[in-house]
A = this chain, B = another copy of it.
């Protein structure tokens, strides 16, 4: 059988645009002799939708788009679209078999995740029936995303201990109380959230192989690709047949759209291992896609980045150029009286290396004017962090004015290490519409920066930016390490505390310095108020701020 795998990048609410992508892919597939096509979860409506589903006629409009699409398709396709429950109360996340004006509901998503970064259970009711399509003498089982994440190897499978599971239905037809069926192919239309730790689904013995083996049939996993607010979907769709002695597979690209016909008769070999997660290279691709998609799905084109001469803003600028092209990126150096000479020079050099437009807008006048205005009130009080923050906020006001005047989005340059402890100024360097690296630890910021220079075969990120000790440059001679532990140690503590929810006591027991651990943990707790107002940024790690770590602000947190 020839299956068109439509790994498309959808936009929430853009029924017309999404349908156009589905239609274009299907025309290509038809030209290549495909029997039918498969598209990701909610491919007609976009995903995730969150409370858009509750908005007025949203779901009715999605359904109208689905019907319209079905009339134009040159071959049958499995697509995803939300639907209203019978009787009108509630919605379901559904898979359809569409062709020739016929829209046939195949199944609704049964297992609705409500953990980490997703809460499908908030907006959808669970499906109640299993779905198959009989086509050209084959029986195709159809599932939606989480529906196949129930094997014992999946950490979150326990959440569905009591649910009716599609994999039971399709894998144990004789045992399953639901009266299961044997199938010739299992299709899973998916929108699986990317994180640097969850990309072991494709490898030998990984989830997809396990599922194929369990149902005794090949599996076609069609995964969404693209960035949508704070979620990244990595694509990497896969046809895998592990039902026989040696697994066979065919993988689609990661982090880009790809629409490819897989001929199930000629698939040979197994490429899941080579398609697996590859550290910084994949993080880089994920961020580039996240920037491009956020900007374009907001109907914008250009971005502005404050260039401090430091590594964070340099990396964001380099990734923005990869995402949007150098003509769409403006770099701005905003030196103060305190800035070192190399700050402007490193920023200028970066801008030259990237070929982006570059402005120098000094902030000394603004800082002086603010301090003058406050002098009557501050008279007799010592200088402190207030004056440091005034500098950062003067830069914020300049960047936002440029954003307003030029119609360009400000990218925020903070990394996960500094977000963790609040080593940033609210309304200062936190200004912006999107924070591309806010879920990347500082040590990885360096690693990706070096990778960018390596793969370019020349200096993109200035070597001096990589070599010099990091500094916020908000007071003379300031260095990050005056306030924070060395980044190797700092990030190791943070990963245990944030990504694994370990308390200080346990981290100390693992051999880390008690003073450093308690200082970091205390700062993390104290910075929640900054993070609740932080711009959206892509989830890349197992536990990102914002989407999968929800901590009250007005709380006592001494025990964390």
Residues of A within 8 A of B (CB): 11-15, 17, 46, 48-52, 54-58, 61, 89-90, 114-115, 119, 121-122, 158, 227-229, 293-294, 297-298, 359, 361-363, 365-366, 368-370, 372-374, 376-378, 381, 384-386, 389-390, 393-394, 396-398, 400-402, 404-405, 426-427, 431, 433, 501-506, 529, 532-536, 548-560
- Report the Cα distance A394→B366, complex, angstroms: 10
Q: Which 8 A-B pairs have the closest CB atoms?
A: A56-B503, A297-B554, A12-B555, A369-B369, A386-B404, A14-B556, A13-B556, A365-B369
A61: chain B residues at CB < 8 Å are 559
> Most chain-B Cβ atoms within 10 A of its Cβ — which of A227, A426, A504, A506?
A426
Chain B nearest CB from A372 CB (Å) reads: 6
Chain B nearest CB from A474 CB (Å) reads: 12
> Judging by beta carbons under 8 Å apart, are B121 and A11 in contact?
no
A405: chain B residues at CB < 8 Å are 374, 377-378, 381, 384, 386
> Judging by beta carbons under 8 Å apart, are B56 and A504 in contact?
yes
Given contacts A14-B555, A362-B373, A365-B369, 18 further A-B contacts (CB under 8 A): A12-B554, A13-B557, A51-B549, A51-B550, A52-B560, A55-B551, A58-B559, A114-B119, A228-B555, A298-B529, A298-B554, A361-B374, A369-B370, A370-B397, A386-B404, A389-B400, A393-B401, A396-B427
A390: chain B residues at CB < 8 Å are 397, 401
If A11-B556, A114-B122, A404-B389 touch, does A373 touch B363 (CB 8 Å cutoff)? Answer: yes
Chain B nearest CB from A517 CB (Å) reads: 12
Chain B nearest CB from A404 CB (Å) reads: 4
Q: Which residue of B is nearest A64, CB measured?
A: B559
> Judging by beta carbons under 8 Å apart, are B386 and A374 in contact?
no
- Report the Cα distance A534→B46, complex, angstroms: 26
Q: Which residue of B is nearest A534, CB measured?
A: B533
> Judging by beta carbons under 8 Å apart, are A298 and B556 in contact?
no
- Report the Cα distance A17→B554, complex, angstroms: 14
Chain B nearest CB from A89 CB (Å) reads: 6
Q: Which residue of B is nearest A507, CB measured?
A: B56
- Report the Cα distance A504→B368, complex, angstroms: 48
Q: Which residue of B is nearest A535, CB measured?
A: B533
If A294-B554, A556-B17 touch, does A372 touch B365 (CB 8 Å cutoff)? Answer: yes
- Report the Cα distance A529→B298, complex, angstroms: 10
Chain B nearest CB from A22 CB (Å) reads: 16
> Judging by beta carbons under 8 Å apart, are B385 and A554 in contact?
no
A115: chain B residues at CB < 8 Å are 122
15 A-B pairs with C-beta separation under 8 A: A11-B556, A13-B555, A13-B558, A50-B552, A61-B559, A294-B553, A359-B377, A374-B405, A377-B405, A384-B405, A390-B401, A397-B397, A400-B427, A427-B427, A532-B536
